[in-house]
């Protein structure tokens, strides 16, 4: 089990307050992933991740995971059971891998198959992919919601999401009534 959290701004108005709240939010969900904690931010997005290492135990698979050649970042919670088969298919299509993680498989499968990518996956998952070039996000979870993702948006064009409601409440700047 890992923990993910994000703030996405449609208008590029991420603030230092957003980053500070994310720091607190990922601390709240540390129990979801004690092996590594990662944070990335720019003007459009703040990505937070707590990692429980299961498949690729190396630091190369820490998150947020970034492929600069593609301009894509991902935060992921879950496990893709058929990632080896998808990886083989992607290698046959000419994709190169830098890790042995299912996280990288998701990212490259998204590049190959676009928004239809989830139909390829057998597993339990929740993830967010941030496309730096398009300044867009793609958020998905497994069909049954085994790996939850909670979200809310505000009138300022920001979207907040997290693996747990307590984390969502801590990164959202206003009172969140549940």
Contacts of 174 (CB under 8 A, 6+ apart): 154
| 135 conformational bin, left if phi > 0, alpha if psi -120 to 50, beta if neither | left
- Stated pTM of the model: 0.92
- The pLDDT of residue 74 is 98
- List domains and CATH numbers for the chain: 3-171 (3.60.20.10)
56 pLDDT more than 60: no
54 pLDDT more than 70: no
158 pLDDT more than 80: yes
17 pLDDT more than 70: yes
What is the average per-residue pLDDT within 69-90? 97
Q: How confident is the model at residue 1 (pLDDT cuts 50, 70, 90)?
A: confident
165 pLDDT more than 90: yes
- Residue length, the chain? 178
What is the average per-residue pLDDT within 104-131? 97
> Residue 46's closest CA among 10, 5, 104, 11?
5
What is the average per-residue pLDDT within 44-63? 76
- 2 catalytic? Reply is yes
Strand order across the beta sheet in which 45-51 lies? 36-41, 45-51, 3-9, 158-162, 150-153
Q: Which of 1, 2, 30, 74 is catalytic?
A: 2
């Amino acid at each position: 089990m890992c923990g993910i959290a994000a703030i996405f701004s449609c208008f590029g108005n991420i603030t230092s307050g957003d980053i500070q709240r994310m720091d607190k939010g990922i601390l709240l969900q540390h129990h979801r992933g004690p092996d590594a904690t990662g944070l990335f931010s720019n003007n459009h997005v703040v990505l937070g991740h707590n990692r429980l290492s299961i498949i690729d135990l190396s630091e190369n698979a820490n998150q947020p995971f970034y492929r600069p050649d593609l301009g894509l970042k991902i935060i992921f919670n879950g496990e893709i059971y058929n990632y080896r088969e998808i990886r083989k298919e992607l290698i046959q299509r000419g994709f190169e891998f830098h890790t042995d993680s299912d996280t990288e498989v998701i990212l490259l499968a998204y590049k190959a198959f676009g928004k239809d990518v989830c139909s390829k996956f057998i597993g339990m998952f929740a993830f967010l992919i941030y496309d730096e070039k398009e300044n867009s996000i793609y958020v998905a979870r497994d069909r049954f919601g085994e790996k939850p993702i909670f979200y809310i948006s505000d009138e300022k064009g920001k979207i907040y999401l997290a693996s747990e409601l307590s984390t969502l409440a801590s990164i959202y700047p206003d009172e969140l009534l549940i």
